[in-house]
Structure 1
Amino acid sequence: MSAAMTEKTTEIHVGHSPDPDDAFMFHALANDKIETGDYLFTHELQDIEKLNRRAFAAELELTAVSLHGYAYLTDTYALCACGASMGDNYGPMVVTRGESSIAELQGKKIAVPGTLTTAFLALNLCLGGKPQTSTKESHTSGDCGTFTYEVYPFDEILNVVERGEADAGLIIHEGQLTYGDQGLSLVVDLGEWWMERTGLPLPLGANAIRKDLGETKMNEVTKLLKESIQYGLDYREEALEHALQYGRDLDHAKADKFVGMYVNDWTLDFGERGREAVARLLQEGFEAGIIPNPVKLEFISGE
């Protein structure tokens, strides 16, 4: 249960996305289902791109981040070994109004959910693009050489494509299950593309913990996060009911499927293969000139 504020209390400001998998993951912490000792968790729900950018100012002690965004945060944050969202032969998708191919995306305008999202990094790797404006710099449109892009909130992209305001859309979250309801067609599933290319899952999101908490608190908070994830998996229907309020157009069956895609054994621990996937993705981003420096990964086990 949540700690009452005392002199010993450490307040942990938590940022995560208003989507079903994050809500499922944080259900136990958000709704006082587990003992948190001297830690008081305060939750802030925001679009992942906003959280990525807030992390530059280290505003939150614990925050969801895109793995792409984390490439710029290694001085101030470490990765929790739990809390990953991994696309195991599935992931962000590119959709269009009519049938299309990857080759036909060349030169097209693509609506994207943010330049720090892992989806945007994977899209550039897939299409051989390189943003002319640094992905770290906040901006709303740009040119990657092989395609152009405009940034929209993730939950507007399907509508933008349906209205013809962009040639294609890069979709994340529940849009991966609902794009067909708006008559849109799949061009490429970037999780499938990555798996075919590397034999690895596509690491999309993680939770990052601020280093200035110190080693003891970093491990204790990470342990509580893992307990919250385990609680959701153990009490699935209860956690799913909480998550459904963030499902937008998902019915119970689709919400259950979506949560199962992104809250699973990978979420309890990246494991050796998951860590290899993170390292491979960020190294490829560096080699492609999208990420400016090699990324040294640091994982907090929560033991």
Structure 2
Amino acid sequence: MNSVEITLGHSPDADDAFMFYALSQKKIPLGNYIFKETISDIETLNNLAMDEKIDLTALSIYTYCKVADRYVLMNCGASMGEGYGPRLVAKHKFEKKEMSQKKIAIPGLHTSALLALCLYLGKRPKNLDLMVCPFDQVFMAVEMGSADIGLVIHEGQISYLQRGLELCEDLGWWWKQTTGLPLPLGGNAIRRALGVQRCRELQSIVRQSIEWALKNRNEALQYAQKYSRGIEPALTDQFVAMYVNERTIDYGPEGKEAILQFIAQAKMLGMVDPDIQVEFVE
């Protein structure tokens, strides 16, 4: 059987590293697929998907809205905040009514964190004072005074306390209180051009990789620690548990409803095409 090369993208973060460890290190059968990995920050992966330059990739749910005509969402690989998510942090606490008047450092214009922020404030990006910077430089922007507030993602959601910053709002908590649903942040998407059968086969491989990591947690965590940017192993474990769990294996009805609700509210705010349709690999 001839081999098939698949370009695979995921972020250099502990949760993605944990999720894709078994696939990357060939701990599971890969069939006739050869994976060529691209490990880049989520905004770079979002841009690759928008240019359709990658076959299978982690991406922001907000970005999926912009590429749904060319990509289909996997049923596995979700990053959902179960009452937690991207956090707005500052040197001192700002109330919600103050935040829309402050300069906010964000990790990208195509991230679900930005969409959640806009839904929270009820304003589109053009009506906010935003400073775009790499996700791992958001803390510095606040600490140096370049921005008043930082929108932090990844392990920054739990490490901000170590930097002496105050929590202004947890957008995952706000979303849960508002909708009763988890906050859909990231997912895995596959190019439609690969065909239905390959999409199903690739989804099966990714699901097996997630299941393997959850069953062999210590080994996968040891690998993931390399992508934790200096935080302690206990915090890495905590962060991975937040975003790689049973819902990562399968969205389930509630997870799918969360995505539909997130996108519906984005449509109401005028941030995505009103005709966008979400499709999952079945």
Q: 2:8 aligns with which of 4, 14, 18?
A: 14
Task: Give the secondary-structure state (helix, strand or coil) at the position aligned to 1:289.
Answer: coil
Deviation of residue 293 (structure 1)?
Answer: 2.6
Matched, 1:199 2:180: yes
> TM-score normalized by structure 1?
0.91
**Which residue number corresponds to residue 89 of structure 2?**
95
Partners of 1:193 and 1:294 in 2: how far apart? 27
- Superposition map of 1:1-303 within 5 A: 8-132=2-126, 144=127, 147-301=128-282
Deviations 1:243-286 (A, max 9, x none): 00000031110000000000001100111000000000001001
In the alignment of these two chains, the number of paired residues is 282
Amino acid of the residue matched to residue 260 of structure 1? Answer: A
Please report the RMSD computed on the Cα atoms of aligned residues, expressed in angstroms. 0.9
**C-alpha distance in 2 between matches for 1:293 and 1:173:** 29
Unpaired segments ≥5 residues, structure 1: 1-6, 133-143
1:136 corresponds to which residue?
Answer: none
**Structure 1 CA distance, aligned partners of 2:19 and 2:36?**
15
Contact 1:61–1:210 (Cα < 8 Å) also in 2 = yes
Counterpart code for 1:169: G
Instruction: After superposition, give the CA deviation of every residue in 1:181-201 in whole Å (9 maximum; x if it has no partner).
Output: 111100000000000000000
Which residue does the alignment assign to 1:135? none
* Deviation string, structure 1 residues 213-252 (Cα, Å, up to 9, x no partner): 1111100010000000000000000000010000003111
CA distance in 2, matches of 1:248, 1:102: 30
Q: Which amino acid aligns with 1:158?
A: F
CA–CA distance in structure 2, aligned partners of residues 99 and 79 of structure 1 = 37
| Ranges of 4+ aligned residues in structure 1 off by more than 2 Å | 292-295
CA distance in 2 between counterparts of 1:197 and 1:293 reads 22
Percent of aligned pairs sharing the same letter: 45
Q: Tell me how far apart the structure 1 counterparts of residues 47 and 68 of structure 2 sit (CA, whole Å).
A: 14
- Report the AA paired with residue 88 of structure 1: E
Deviation of residue 162 (structure 1)? 1.0
Q: Which runs of 5+ in 2 are unaligned?
A: none
1:104 offset after TM fit, Å?
Answer: 1.6
SS class of match (1:12): strand
Equivalent AA in structure 1 for residue 3 of structure 2 = T
SS in 1 for 2:272: coil
Cα distance in 2 for residues equivalent to 1:155 and 1:106: 23
Q: How far apart are residue 101 of structure 1 and its match?
A: 1.6
Deviations 1:139-187 (A, max 9, x none): xxxxx2xx31010000010111011110100000000111111111000
Q: CA deviation at 1:102?
A: 1.5
Give the CA deviation at 1:207: 0.2
Question: Secondary structure of the equivalent of 1:60?
Answer: coil
Residue 136 of structure 2 aligns to a residue whose secondary structure is helix
Q: How far apart, in 2, do the equivalents of 1:157 and 1:131 lie?
A: 17
Structure 1 or 2: more helix by fraction: 2
Tell me the distance in 2 between the aligned counterparts of 1:77 and 1:209: 5
Residues 283 and 295 of structure 1 are in contact (CA less than 8 Å); yes or no, is this contact kept in structure 2?
Answer: no
CA positional deviation for 1:20? 0.2
CA distance in 1: counterparts of 2:272 and 2:149, whole angstroms: 24
* Aligned residue type for 1:256: D
| CA apart distance, 1:131 | 2.4
CA offsets, 1:56-100, max 9 Å, x none? Answer: 121111001100000011111000000000000000000011122
TM (norm. structure 2) is: 0.98
